[in-house]
A and B are shown apart, each in its own frame.
Chain A
Amino acid sequence: MSTSDVKLLGGWPSPFVMRARIALNIKSVDYEFLQEKVGEKSELLLKSNPVYKKIPVLIHADKPICESLIIVQYIDEVWTSGPSILPSDPYDRAIARFWAAYIDDKWFPSVRGIALIAEGDEEKKEAVQEVATGLELLEDAFPKCNKGGNFFGGERIGYLDIALGCFLAWLRVTEKLNNVKLLDEAKTPNLCKWAESFCSDAAVKDVMPETDKLLGFAKVLMARFKAPPAN
Chain B
Amino acid sequence: MAEEVKLFRNWSSPFALRIVWALKLKGIEYETILEDLQNKSSLLLQYNPVHKKVPVLLHNGKPILESLVILEYIEETWKQHPLLPEDPFEKATARFWARFNDEELLPSIRDASTKQGKEQEEAIVQVEENLKYVEEKLKGNVFFGGETIGYLDLAFGWLANLVSVLEEVTGLSLTASGKFPLLSAWMQNFSDAPVIKECWPPRDKLIIKYQAMIEKYTAVAAPK
Contacts and interface: CB of A to CB of B under 8 A. Distances in A.
Interface in A50-88: 51, 60, 63, 65-67, 70-71, 73-74, 77-78
Contacts of B50: 102, 137
Contacts of A65: 89, 92, 96
B65 A98 contact: yes
B125 to A, nearest CB: 16
B64 interface: yes
B73 to A, nearest CB: 4
Nearest to A88: B76
Interface of A: 51, 60, 63, 65-67, 70-71, 73-74, 77-78, 90-91, 93-94, 97-98, 101-102, 137
A208 B76 CA distance: 33
Nearest to A96: B69
20 contacts: A63-B89, A66-B96, A67-B96, A67-B99, A70-B92, A70-B95, A70-B96, A77-B88, A77-B91, A90-B73, A90-B76, A91-B64, A91-B73, A93-B76, A94-B64, A94-B69, A94-B72, A101-B66, A101-B69, A102-B50
Interface of B: 50, 59, 62, 64-66, 68-70, 72-73, 76-77, 88-89, 91-92, 95-96, 99-100, 104, 133
Given A73-B95, A94-B72, A98-B65, 17 more contacts: A60-B89, A65-B92, A66-B96, A67-B99, A70-B92, A70-B95, A73-B91, A73-B92, A74-B92, A77-B91, A91-B62, A93-B73, A94-B65, A94-B70, A94-B73, A98-B66, A101-B66
A6 to B, nearest CB: 13
A59 B95 CA distance: 16
B69 A97 contact: yes
A90 B71 CA distance: 11
Contacts, number: 55
Secondary structure dominating the interface of B:
helix
Contacts of B104: 51
A97 B76 contact: no
Nearest to B93: A65
Contacts of A51: 100, 104, 133
Contacts of B64: 91, 94, 98
Contacts of B89: 60, 63, 65, 74
A137 B77 CA distance: 27
A97 B76 CA distance: 13
Ordered nearest first, which 6 A-B pairs have the shortest CB separation? A90-B76, A77-B88, A94-B73, A74-B92, A97-B69, A94-B64
Contacts of B62: 91
B99 A98 contact: no
Contact of B99 (A60, A63, A70, A77): A70
Contacts of B96: 65-67, 70
